[in-house]
Amino acid sequence: MTLRFNGAEIPCPQGSTVLDALIEADQSVEYSCKNGICQTCVLRADRGAVPAESQVGIKDTLKALGYFLPCVCLPEGSLEISVPEDADLLGRARVVSKETLSPSVSRLVIEPATPLYYRAGQFLNLRRDDGLTRSYSLASVPHLDPHLEFHIKTLPGGEMSTWIRDDVSPGQPLEFGGPNGACFYLPEHPEQNLLLIGNGTGLAPLIGIARDALHSSHHGDVYLYHGSRHVAGIYLHEDLLELQTLFPNFHYVPCLSGDAPPQGYRAGRAEAVALGDFPDLTNWRIYLCGYPPMVNAAQRKCYLAGARMDDIHADPFELKELRSSPRD
């Protein structure tokens, strides 16, 4: 068996794990327990199949991307493998358009220089030419949208988000790392009910995941709870109402935690409204995106409501500096 790693061909003798073969060949690899537990050595198989035993304990979404544990991998054929971070090379893109979705949210559309393979719901690290880098979730779907779309909330004094709102115009070059993240749709269980909860621009990855699922003939119910304090923060209301008329199994629930809810909106925090509607989440798959305290609290509540840990995908939008002021 042969391994291809960092451009080198490495022999993997019968009975040797991938990790031992890499160590034997003096490749620098991180590892610790060598027992399939600690996950320190996780690598990604870009080509070739890895045995199921080497993916035990790895999240379904990461499994789908080829992540495996080389310390317990006895390969059954040749493999092309890489260190996950190394896949994080910078790509080049150009801004196609910028549009105001609400007083504090802009839609940014960019076109990568070469087609990008990604899954709806993942995020890119956008990089300005001076090196300023921030993560933004993809709101587009690869097989439905020609370009990459982001929803960017302007934070007062926020370096990247105010630059994007004030100074970015079509043609602007940008670099990006990624795609990253394991918050995306998995087509394996089209009958499973999906619960999507996001506040503020946490909607961006969720709308991608919802459209991806619906257009992939998902037939379980797809519930999307979008939360904000104010009506203006429910920034894709019309689009989502329209999506609801196109797909009878799609249910959109806008929630307001501040303003009194007009007709068609619900009162309360998105996660509280959702958990009130569905107190038993056994067998559901759940996606939680946006404000980190909401995501973390909701993760716990969903788990207690019966969802399996592997079925809960949490994508907290951690800011660079830890802040206590809420975003919505």
Ligand X SMILES: Cc1cc2nc3c(=O)[nH]c(=O)nc-3n(C[C@H](O)[C@H](O)[C@H](O)COP(=O)(O)OP(=O)(O)OC[C@H]3O[C@@H](n4cnc5c(N)ncnc54)[C@H](O)[C@@H]3O)c2cc1C
* Residues of this chain that bind other proteins (CB under 8 A): 296, 299-300, 303-304, 308-309
Shortest Å, Cβ 225 to ligand X: 17
Q: Which of 47, 92, 300, 323 binds ligand X (CB under 6 A)?
A: 323
> Of these partners, other proteins, ligand X, none, which one is at the site of residue 212 (CB under 5 to 8 Å by kind)?
none
Q: Which of 201, 228, 257, 299 binds ligand X (CB under 6 A)?
A: 201
| 3-state SS, residue 127 | strand
Shortest Å, Cβ 313 to other proteins: 12
Instruction: Assess contact for 154 and 165: CB atoms under 8 A.
Output: yes
Q: Which of 155, 231, 297, 314 binds ligand X (CB under 6 A)?
A: 155
Q: Is 119 in the site for ligand X (CB under 6 A)?
A: no
Q: Is 140 in the site for ligand X (CB under 6 A)?
A: no
Cite the DSSP H helix spans in the chain: 18-24, 60-64, 159-167, 203-215, 237-246, 270-277, 292-304
State how far the Cα of 203 lies from the Cα of 211, in Å rounded to an integer. 12
Q: Is 71 left (phi over 0), alpha (psi -120 to 50) or beta?
A: alpha
**Contacts with ligand X, 289-318, as mask; x by CB under 6 A:** --------------------------x-xx
Strand ranges (E), 1-154: 2-5, 8-11, 43-47, 67-68, 79-82, 91-102, 105-112, 123-127, 133-137, 148-153
| 3-state SS, residue 231 | helix
Nearer to ligand X, 250 or 317 (CB): 317
Number of residues this chain uses to bind ligand X (CB under 6 A): 25
Cβ atoms within 10 Å of 162's Cβ, excluding its own: 14
Shortest Å, Cβ 304 to other proteins: 6
> Of these partners, ligand X, other proteins, none, which one is at the site of residue 160 (CB under 5 to 8 Å by kind)?
ligand X
Shortest Å, Cβ 275 to other proteins: 14
Q: Is 83 in the site for ligand X (CB under 6 A)?
A: no
In this structure, what token pair is assigned to residue 165? Answer: 């709102």
**Contacts with ligand X, 89-118, as mask; x by CB under 6 A:** ------------------------------
The distance of Cα 91 from the centroid of its chain, to the nearest Å, equals: 18
Q: Is 228 in the site for ligand X (CB under 6 A)?
A: no
State how far the Cα of 59 lies from the Cα of 131, in Å rounded to an integer. 32
Nearer to other proteins, 137 or 299 (CB): 299
Nearer to other proteins, 214 or 288 (CB): 288
State how far the Cα of 42 lies from the Cα of 29, in Å rounded to an integer. 10
Binding site for ligand X (CB under 6 A): 123, 134-137, 150-153, 155-161, 201, 204, 315, 317-321, 323
